Amino acid sequence: MGKCNHLILHCMDYRLQDTIEEWIKKKGLNGKIDRISIGGPCKDIEFAMKYIKTCIEKHGVKNVYLTQHEDCAGYGGHDAFSSLDSERENLTDDMMDLKANVKLLYPDVEVHTILMQEDDEGWDMVDLGKD
């Protein structure tokens, strides 16, 4: 089945794909990274965990990059929140919950969290850290 050290979980949203592709290339991970594409990627923990487990157990993934993005249809977009701050907080909370789930089962796997934020220039992948 081969070996793959990296995994990125991202939203299926078409607007993000170019930015994610660039990020993967910049990190030199082109063709060396598992990709899970789900709407509202960190919202349904059980669903996401099912695929994350496969990547870790079958492919030997050691570095997991969890991502969320602003204006996600999986969350009802910007309109579902009273402010951008509350939206970011909500998206980050779900991402941290998912991270905690991964770390509980796989303490040796490094889990990075990235919040994708949109400005006039396009999308930024804002790294919130790892452990």
Binding residues (CB under 5 A) for Zn ion: these are 11, 13, 72, 74
User: Which residue lies nearer to Zn ion by CB, 80 or 128?
Assistant: 80
CB of 28 to Zn ion, least distance (A): 26
User: Which residue lies nearer to Zn ion by CB, 60 or 76?
Assistant: 76
CB of 68 to Zn ion, least distance (A): 8
Contact 109, 102 (CB under 8 A): yes
HEC letters along 7-65: EEEECCCHHHHHHHHHHHHHCCCCCCEEEEECCCCCCCHHHHHHHHHHHHHHHCCCEEE
CB of 44 to Zn ion, least distance (A): 13
CB of 13 to Zn ion, least distance (A): 4
User: Which residue lies nearer to Zn ion by CB, 52 or 91?
Assistant: 91
User: Which residue lies nearer to Zn ion by CB, 56 or 71?
Assistant: 71
What CA–CA distances, in Å, run from 65 to 7, 82, 113? 6, 28, 6
